[in-house]
Amino acid sequence: MLASLQRELDQRKADGLLRQRRLLDSPQAEHIVANQQPYLSFCSNDYLGLANHPDLIAAMQKAAGDSGVGSGASGLVTGHHRYHDELEQQLARFVELPAALLFSTGYMANIGVLGALVGRGDAIFADKLNHACLNDGGYFSHAEFHRYPHNDVAALEKLLQASTAKHKLIAADAVFSMDGDIAPIPEYLALCEKYDAYLYIDDAHGFGVLGEHGKGSLNHFKIKSPRIIMMATLGKAAGVAGSFVAGEQVVIDYLIQKAKSYVYSTPAPPALSATLSASVKLIEQGDHLRANLQALIQYLKANLKLNKWRLMDSDTTIQPLVVGDNLEALALSEYLQTCGILVPAIRPPTVPVGTARLRISLSATHTMDDMKKLVAAIHQAERELCA
Ligand code: PMP
């Protein structure tokens, strides 16, 4: 087996697909030190720049002092601390849904929720570009798993029409992690009502960024329904780690009993929840951060003038620059690195073959000067690499 593992790794490298970690020597932020070199970074999902906020650091230090650093046991044994409980209530209030449940990561939430809510005889309808953990959740559930073309409401309707499944669940990212576009959530909800289906929305990249006061994608569309269950991670705009699922009380009560990644897993430390409670307050007060983000997004879109590569049509913090070829995407990422700028190259299987790209991720703490440097470096790279 070991020889075949090595062969596969060698092949990945030859194909420009080998993933490599970068060693961070500083806090993660827009200006970082990695492998002992300073960089301007466009790699992080810390969209509001909260990961180093002094209020959150102080909240974590205080809470570690009064609640320790570990949860000790699963939530159903003795691991459900008052800090967890208060955060669940605060999150439910914030997203204006009846109840919420914390999971240790977004990945765990998606696996646990899909695995619990549907099973044999049921069907999941999933966007082809959904995040990998929604696909894994589908496999765990043993429900039929149908994938529809990206954001294609008509194709989804055909699948729903043809389905004889007992329970039907549409599962979609709200903001697509590698494309930055937004799912047609109101149209999905209309289909749910027409075909007696439910909607599971992964708002990993909308929570904190979209909607009034950063309440997320459901608020962005001003929709509400007992048919909707949402998930958001707390490691992106919230700047910390973890995730939550929110929806009707009965859904949350059921997940506490049946979501295996909740039942059989130790919760994140209570101190993390206390930190997140402080973070949710900052998100709510962060309209100025979201305004700055919008200004950065619009600057990039207006000023990046390319011949061969193209910026995808996105108005969110995720601005993908499509290059196409895997090795060319890597070459661009490496070129920018030599200019002191980090932007990750994203290649298949994370994105479809032929659409390798740079994923430019913007944070409210980037400045216009940072944007100017990025735009100038990309223009220069296109001139030199595509000459
Ligand atoms: N859903 C989406 C759309 C994501 O982009 C991610 C993270 N990349 C996750 C879920 C997983 O969340 P977490 O990082 O908290 O496990």
pLDDT digits (tens, 9 = 90+) for 301-312: 999 999 999 999
Q: How crowded is residue 334: how many other Cβ atoms within 10 Å of its Cβ?
A: 12
Domain count, the chain: 2
pLDDT at 387: 77
Q: How far apart are CA 59 and CA 210, in angstroms?
A: 25
Residue nearest to atom 10 of ligand 1 (CA): 106
pLDDT grade for 115, boundaries at 50, 70 and 90: very high
Active site residue 236: yes
Shared domain for 42 and 99, answered yes or no, is no
Two tokens, residue 90: 């605060």
- Ligand 1 centroid – CA 34 distance (Å): 23
CATH number reported for the structural domain that contains residue 224 in this entry: 3.40.640.10
Average per-residue pLDDT for the chain:
96
Whether ligand 1 lies within 6 angstroms of the CB of 103 is answered as: no
Two tokens, residue 312: 């995808």
Choose one of 269, 284, 299: the last residue of a domain: 284
Q: How crowded is residue 230: how many other Cβ atoms within 10 Å of its Cβ?
A: 23
Active site residue 146: no
- Ligand 1 centroid – CA 204 distance (Å): 6
Choose one of 284, 312, 335: the last residue of a domain: 284
Q: Is this prediction's ipTM beyond 0.90? A: yes
Q: Has residue 111 been placed in a domain? A: yes
Active site residue 258: no
pLDDT grade for 183, boundaries at 50, 70 and 90: very high
Is-contact 95 230, C-beta < 8 A? yes
Q: Has residue 2 been placed in a domain? A: no
Residue nearest to atom 12 of ligand 1 (CA): 106
Mean pLDDT for 139-156 is 97
Shared domain for 77 and 212, answered yes or no, is yes
List Cα–Cα distances, 159 to 113, 124, 191, 313, 348, in angstroms.
Answer: 22, 10, 11, 27, 27
pTM of the entire predicted model: 0.96
Q: Has residue 366 been placed in a domain? A: yes
pLDDT at 382: 94
Q: Has residue 319 been placed in a domain? A: yes
Q: Active site residue: 80, 81, 236, 366, which one?
A: 236
pLDDT at 20: 85
Residue nearest to atom 15 of ligand 1 (CA): 106
pLDDT at 374: 98
Query: Which of 28, 45, 104, 177 best tests ligand 1's pocket when mutated (most atoms within 8 Å of CB)?
Result: 177
Q: How far apart are CA 108 and CA 116, in angstroms?
A: 12
Shared domain for 216 and 87, answered yes or no, is yes
Q: Has residue 12 been placed in a domain? A: no
Whether ligand 1 lies within 6 angstroms of the CB of 177 is answered as: yes
Q: How far apart are CA 64 and CA 269, in angstroms?
A: 9
Mean pLDDT for 246-252 is 98
pLDDT at 198: 98
Shared domain for 213 and 187, answered yes or no, is yes
Residue nearest to atom 9 of ligand 1 (CA): 106
Shared domain for 274 and 335, answered yes or no, is no
DSSP state of 214: G
Choose one of 284, 312, 344: the last residue of a domain: 284
- Ligand 1 centroid – CA 220 distance (Å): 20
CATH number reported for the structural domain that contains residue 337 in this entry: 3.90.1150.10
What's the domain range around 317?
A: 20-48+286-385
pLDDT at 17: 80
131 is in an annotated binding site: yes
pLDDT tens digits, residue range 312-345?
A: 999 999 999 999 999 999 999 999 999 999 999 9
Identify the bridge partners of residue 103 per DSSP, sorted by sequence position: 243
Q: Which of 10-24, 185-199, 231-245 has the lowest mean pLDDT?
A: 10-24
pLDDT at 15: 83
Shared domain for 299 and 266, answered yes or no, is no
Whether ligand 1 lies within 6 angstroms of the CB of 133 is answered as: yes
Shared domain for 221 and 105, answered yes or no, is yes
pLDDT grade for 377, boundaries at 50, 70 and 90: very high
Q: Has residue 14 been placed in a domain? A: no
pLDDT at 73: 96
Shared domain for 278 and 317, answered yes or no, is no
